[in-house]
Structure 1
């Protein structure tokens, strides 16, 4: 009797185990099927977009970037830099906002005659060769070296002060003040995004310092740019050059997209010549600036 009861219980447990395995298999198959359908749809949409981009006229640049911001045409300095360059040089282009992240997982990127090119600086250098554009040709080698030094300082040092303020010190919360139509999922993913960007900043080196130290370093960069600019119209004189696009891209974020930051206060105070410089770049290359915001100011 006892053995029969044990056998019965064992059979019941095996039956439950088999049913559970069966249900898990069905569930797993369903999830895999949904994922496969999703990937097929994504691939289809991607192919359709590329077919559309290939249909534009020859030598038309397709500029892929984030959607427009509330106070600047882009809340990232690099798309703003590249679009300013396109306007400065008169190279024909169209904007595309559906696929902002490029082959290297960065924004912006461009499509030109079917080729995909990533990284704002590499895009500018390729376009300069393709369309024979050189906005710095009037400068001496020494002046070009100085311009490059300010360009690199802005993008490879001051930029990290911007990134740390926006994503680490304020935990990304100010993003909602400067950008409309952010996906709801971003608020759920924000801790992961902050952690990832903090890790990048630590890998670069700036993220290893205290907030006070980073702010001090960034202020020194701003003071250097302000002192060098002085009363000049643009970085190297009366004519804007490629380096102005990079410097403007960073400064515009600090001025208009870092609400409540010490950068915003300094650009409206001690370094007000940098604010005037940003306004000048905006007026010169972005006469339609207000229409390039979201919502547009018409």
Structure 2
């Protein structure tokens, strides 16, 4: 019985081996063609990648190359973190150029920068690196209490309100205001639909997406109300002068102001929290005199 079993297994192995050999001989030309095509695509990708970096490195010493998603119709970008970082570059008067060819950086997120051959990701870490390098510190005059409040407000908006806005943008509104805010060909709209599902899934993993829509909106409203109360009648969050935190707050409030038509958050800025609306216009007028030219398509007049 044992010898018969071994004999039978041997026959099966030989038959399987011949079958695989037959399939390989039949599919070898196709397999080799696939390998060649994939190899060629990879080579072309790395050549193009090398050429892009060569171009970015040639812009000049200490000139920042800011990598981002395409411009929006009503706001320079649909990413609050892109608007945050670009506002900071303007506030600090750091020379920079914009790149749209490679929006995702070393951490798989946007924005990121190239500077003197180095690639750096995360808007906050970039700002904290650029400040000392260019001798820019807009918070040195603040007290420890003011610094603590600024940090608390920034984290509330970037780590909590972010998800309230994301749930409204991609789940409650199903991405309609988002699509209306960007010049998107049909194929890109399909990609955005996939991206939307990914964000909705991520919101559930994070936790915000597990609440019902009314609960999520109320959480976002409370964040905006807290920010409005903290701002009060001051021109900027920490006083008469803009600080780094204002870049972050403006990045998110700009999304509400110009990229969230019909949202309860925009309604709130137009009714209960008008000081946040005025705050947005104040920063835009001060650091974005070319706002209209930074839209897609460009506008000859500044869009309010």
Q: TM-score, normalised by structure 2?
A: 0.88
SS in 2 for 1:235: coil
Question: Aligned residue for 1:278?
Answer: 280
Question: Aligned residue for 1:250?
Answer: 252
Q: Write out aligned runs for 1:42-121 (5 A).
A: 42-121=45-124
Distance across 2 between alignment mates of 1:134 and 1:245: 13
5+ residue gaps in structure 2?
A: 1-19
Distance across 1 between alignment mates of 2:65 and 2:85: 12
Distance across 1 between alignment mates of 2:186 and 2:74: 21
1:188 CA displacement: 3.1
Post-superposition CA distance 1:112-157 (Å, at most 9, x none):
1100000100100010121121101111011110111111111000
- Cα 1:183–1:39 change in 2 (3 A) is farther
Question: Aligned residue for 1:126?
Answer: 129
Distance across 1 between alignment mates of 2:174 and 2:64: 35
SS in 2 for 1:111: strand
1:37 CA displacement: 1.4
1:183 CA displacement: 5.1
Cα RMSD over matched residues? 2.0
Is residue 243 of structure 2 the alignment partner of residue 209 of structure 1? no
User: Is residue 179–residue 189 contact of structure 2 (8 Å, CA) maintained in 1?
Assistant: no
1:23 CA displacement: 5.4
SS in 1 for 2:176: coil
Q: Write out aligned runs for 1:128-167 (5 A).
A: 128-167=131-170
Post-superposition CA distance 1:87-130 (Å, at most 9, x none):
11111111111111101110000011100000100100010121
Distance across 2 between alignment mates of 1:29 and 1:262: 57
Question: Aligned residue for 1:10?
Answer: none
SS in 1 for 2:66: strand
1:26 CA displacement: 3.2
5+ residue gaps in structure 1?
A: 1-16
1:22 CA displacement: 5.2
1:75 CA displacement: 0.7
Distance across 2 between alignment mates of 1:27 and 1:114: 41
